[in-house]
Structure 1
Amino acid sequence: MLPGINFYGWIFALASLMQISSNVAVSMYAVYHLDTYVSQPYHVFIGYLLILWGSAFFIVFANKYAPHTQHVGTFFVIVGGIVTIIILAAMPKRHATNHFVWSSFNENNATGWSGGVAFLLGVLNGAFTIGTPDSVTHMAEEMGHPRKDLPKAIMLQITLGFVFAFCFAVALSYAITDITALQGGFNTFPLTNIYVQATAGDNGVRNPGAAFGLLFIMLICTLTCCVGLTLTVSRTYWALARDNAVPLSAFFGRVNERLSCPVWSTLFVCVLATGIGAIPLGSPTAFLAIAGSFVVLTTISYAIPFTANMLSGRKYFPKGPFHLGRAGYAVNGLAVLFIVLFDVLFCFRTVAITGLWWAAHAVKHYPGPKVMALYIETDGVAPVATEKSSASAMATELKQKEAENLRS
């Protein structure tokens, strides 16, 4: 069950990353045509398909070069990240005030929730970083010394990621000069508009070349991540098939020895991701909900073994080089509490309101859906719809309900 939960979380993460990468690519065109370009959902979907199937093609036919893409990505994340932070800090002709960056949270809170609730709900964006340490764990079987190297890689990523993310967030915040432009700009990718503001010259004259360069750094980083994430998700599904945990396991569990790749698992993952990527064409809100479920599903897949480990006295978990002893109970317990808290909050808008309304009213007063036809089953006779009788029955029932409500 746990690998299945984790897989579905990762397939949603793959769709989210492809969507981000495609948004960056579309924005690189848009910065040169800000006054005339009108963003359309299908523009992003076309880019989505090109990036997704380009990643699949690379993994299937150039699998041995996949590690090199991560070297390129690492270089652009580190060097490109430093360059981006420096440009955001030094290039703007005007900067946001200290009050705007550090003290204006409630002033700019347009969510309709209180500041505390808005902050907790906003953790969803940062919670996507759960994907990085989790993706590392999926490559454990391909590490030479996973008992030592895996924890080191996770801690190094968390430490460096925090430092870079904090510096980037501060530089980005000071580069914002018009926050209203981010709430209804030319594109659904607000980062583009911030880059445009940060690189603008005197009197607000745009510098599309500079904005394009910053977006290019972001594009290379996301493209290499797309390759790595497609690899991770396809390997996850292949592992499920290998363990006979999915339908057609014998088929999807095959590995092409010549290509050194589980081709059918990779293609299946990409077909599934293609369908998910088409959702924004009809309902962007539905896609955002699916994307957010990545965090919920992934953290649930961790909370269950954490809880089982504690309830079993941590005696079935083999001790490794970084075993925490009794302190592990506190770490696991806090992790489970945080997961429960935030997973409820991430579903707060609908789950909490619907649940409270059901408990307060609907459990006693909601009669269930009404059907416009009453089907009567008789021996040897097919069901016959009696629409008039059903309508009269419904009217009688409604009158009875109204009378009961008046008496109560």
Structure 2
Amino acid sequence: MADSDVKHVFPSASTMGSKLENFSPRLSTGETETADQLLENLGYKPELLRNRSTLQVAFMSFVLASIPYGLATTLIFPLVGGGPVNIIWGWVAVSLITVCVAASLGEITSVYPTAGGVYYQAFMLAPANWRRVASWTCGWLYVVGNITITLSVNFGTTLFFVGCINVFEKEPGVGVLEGSNYQVFLLFVAVTLLCNAVSALGNKWLPWLDTAAIFWTFAGVIAMMVTILAIAKNGRHDAKYVFGKFENSSGWPDGWSFCVGLLHAAYATSSTGMIISMCEEVQKPSIQVPKAMVATVFINTFAGLLFLIPIVFVLPNIQGLILLPQPVPAIITSAVGSPGGAIGLLIPLMVLALLCGVGVTTASSRCTWAFARDGAIPGSRWWMKVNRRLDVPLNAMMLCMVVEIVLGLIYFGSTAAFNAFSGVGVICLTASYATPIAISMFTGRKQVKTGNFYLGKFGYFLNIVSIAWSLLALPLFCMPLSIPVTATTANYAPVVFVAATAISSIWYWAWGHKNYAGPPVQGQHQHNQ
């Protein structure tokens, strides 16, 4: 790719001042050749435009998590699990754990920076006699996790929009939008189509959209924080309540209830490793992506506290909030005292919700394309194609979109569908992240010593924390939020997880064990469609 190509995509980069020079997407031909040569050494032909800088990678990673939107849509979990303590300290605890996961993945990604991400890493790190099974299993977890997280983001956006619209009421307690199943589903389809259209048609502008998103986020959060604390129509709690009040509404024992409420924070941070799928679209992936993953966790943690602490200070009665599918619009309305003021504060979150949908749509399409490129998905010859005009893997993107819309039909059978989508996404992504980390640790961490992000002996501690968290998360997020369980409150995440596992296992038995050779090694392309 020549300099002129990139200048055409970003014509005004050179005019934005010296302060932006550090993350200008322009790069020299030499830098491109170095990154592309590294990719070819890993066995792949460069096919995507490298138009993202270090900060833009970090900003996209931030948008994938979309704090505070990701925390707003799942606030019901800690409200039921433990109230203020679960909201604040659960977020801090999971954020600290996520630093360990991001750093552990960063070490490995600095050695193997491809769009295949964790499944490629699992293949390269595992002993030869079981590397194919390891990469196959990890790859399917990664793809299913990406698709279901994308689905849950767009579905969460839909439910959040309904909640925001219903700050306007026809009569006390009755919103202007009924929010029937068919209305929710149609709005979900519209959100999904919009996010796919922006991701496909506006690919060259996405780095700048991600950059704008981070400033938009902090401006919106600060405006919200100042306004709700200043007005506080129904009063403010004291610090003892905000940081020390534990209120279990789940029916589980207190300790387990707190843990189940951690899905809130785990959902918001589950996108940590999704940014690896963008490795083939950045200038220096072995350096930029690891730094971006770790740096984003700290940005997210700060943004999350900036959002959550003011919310808890003005929290209305929890027992009333837990009856709502989306409590945040009600909390904001209660604090400012008027639906007009509330919607004004909620608009930044609504915009961020759509930006998050675009981000996860982009990341999920890349990981699906990469897995298809190695012949692991039925119909790989079709899904591995890159649309040269748009410079995106359009077929893979459309495959993800269709799967998401079909899974969205579950909502007609259970209003707890969103919980299932978010739960299975967290389970699959957490397990996929843990796979290369565990393999690396149990094989003596030999390969990561050659990377640009090697953490030395401290890396063992980070790996152990990451693996321990994964072992807790897998059963934890299969649990229902509260007991006793009914058909409408059951957690269907295990059902979706088992179904995905069954499909991947049957495909491996029917085709994979004879034909799947794994990712290409040492420049030898082994695409097996």
TM-score interval w.r.t. the shorter chain?
Answer: 0.7 to 0.9
Match of 2:272 among 124, 133, 139: 133
The aligned amino acid for 2:198 is F
1:223-262 equivalence runs, <5 A: 223-262=354-393
Partner SS state of residue 246, structure 1: coil
Question: Quick check: 1:100 aligned with 2:245?
Answer: no
Shift of 1:48: 0.9
Question: Quick check: 1:65 aligned with 2:205?
Answer: yes
66-75 vs 258-267, greater mean Cα deviation: 66-75
Q: Deviations over 1:308-361 (max 9, x none)?
A: 1122111133522331122222221221112112322223569xxxxxxxxxxx
Q: Distance in 1 between matches of 2:271 and 2:225?
A: 21
Partner SS state of residue 89, structure 1: helix
Q: Contact conserved, 2:213 with 2:352, CA < 8 A, in 1?
A: yes
Q: Which residue of 1 aligns with 2:330?
A: 193
Question: Quick check: 1:9 aligned with 2:148?
Answer: no
Q: Contact conserved, 1:76 with 1:220, CA < 8 A, in 2?
A: no
Q: Which residue of 2 aligns with 1:24?
A: 160
Q: Contact conserved, 1:24 with 1:215, CA < 8 A, in 2?
A: no
Q: Contact conserved, 1:24 with 1:218, CA < 8 A, in 2?
A: no
Q: Distance in 2 between matches of 1:34 and 1:240?
A: 49
Q: Which residue of 1 aligns with 2:263?
A: 124
Compared CA separation, residues 24 and 334, structure 1 to 2 (3 A)? closer
Question: Quick check: 1:337 aligned with 2:474?
Answer: no
Compared CA separation, residues 31 and 81, structure 1 to 2 (3 A)? same
Q: Distance in 2 between matches of 1:122 and 1:114?
A: 12
Q: Distance in 2 between matches of 1:298 and 1:326?
A: 26
Q: Distance in 2 between matches of 1:27 and 1:158?
A: 28
Aligned length: 341
Match of 2:310 among 168, 171, 176: 171
Compared CA separation, residues 6 and 33, structure 1 to 2 (3 A)? same
Q: Deviations over 1:203-222 (max 9, x none)?
A: xxxx1111101221101111
Shift of 1:90: 1.7
The aligned amino acid for 1:155 is V
Q: Contact conserved, 2:332 with 2:342, CA < 8 A, in 1?
A: yes
The aligned amino acid for 1:315 is K
Q: Deviations over 1:170-197 (max 9, x none)?
A: 1101111332331224xx2111110111
Q: Distance in 2 between matches of 1:290 and 1:259?
A: 30
Q: Deviations over 1:45-92 (max 9, x none)?
A: 222111101111222333222223222322221221222222222221
The aligned amino acid for 1:70 is D
Q: Distance in 2 between matches of 1:334 and 1:97?
A: 34
Is there any run of 5+ residues in structure 1 with no aligned partner, and where?
201-206, 351-408
Q: Which residue of 1 aligns with 2:444?
A: 313
Q: Distance in 1 between matches of 2:161 and 2:473?
A: 32
Q: Distance in 1 between matches of 2:438 and 2:273?
A: 18
Partner SS state of residue 261, structure 1: coil
Q: Contact conserved, 1:25 with 1:47, CA < 8 A, in 2?
A: no
Shift of 1:111: 0.6
Q: Deviations over 1:136-162 (max 9, x none)?
A: 222122111122222221222111211
Compared CA separation, residues 44 and 115, structure 1 to 2 (3 A)? same
Q: Distance in 1 between matches of 2:458 and 2:243?
A: 35
Q: Contact conserved, 1:279 with 1:287, CA < 8 A, in 2?
A: no
Q: Which residue of 1 aligns with 2:348?
A: 217
Partner SS state of residue 284, structure 1: coil
Compared CA separation, residues 67 and 80, structure 1 to 2 (3 A)? same
Question: Quick check: 1:273 aligned with 2:404?
Answer: yes
Q: Distance in 2 between matches of 1:127 and 1:34?
A: 36
Q: Contact conserved, 2:150 with 2:360, CA < 8 A, in 1?
A: yes
1:346-365 equivalence runs, <5 A: 346-348=477-479
Q: Deviations over 1:2-60 (max 9, x none)?
A: 12211101111111110121123223321122524333232222221111011112223
Question: Quick check: 1:183 aligned with 2:322?
Answer: yes
The aligned amino acid for 2:329 is T
1:149-168 equivalence runs, <5 A: 149-168=288-307
Q: Distance in 2 between matches of 1:140 and 1:104?
A: 43
Give identity over the alignment, percent. Answer: 28
Compared CA separation, residues 98 and 284, structure 1 to 2 (3 A)? same
Q: Which residue of 2 aligns with 1:55?
A: 195
331-340 vs 318-327, greater mean Cα deviation: 318-327
The aligned amino acid for 1:112 is G
Shift of 1:228: 1.1
Q: Which residue of 1 aligns with 2:286?
A: 147
Compared CA separation, residues 330 and 29, structure 1 to 2 (3 A)? closer
The aligned amino acid for 1:96 is H
Give the greater-gyration-radius structure (CA).
1
Match of 1:304 among 435, 439, 443: 435
Q: Contact conserved, 1:95 with 1:177, CA < 8 A, in 2?
A: no
The aligned amino acid for 2:312 is S
List 4+ stretches of structure 1 deviating above 4 A. none
Partner SS state of residue 258, structure 1: coil
Q: Distance in 1 between matches of 2:170 and 2:239?
A: 29
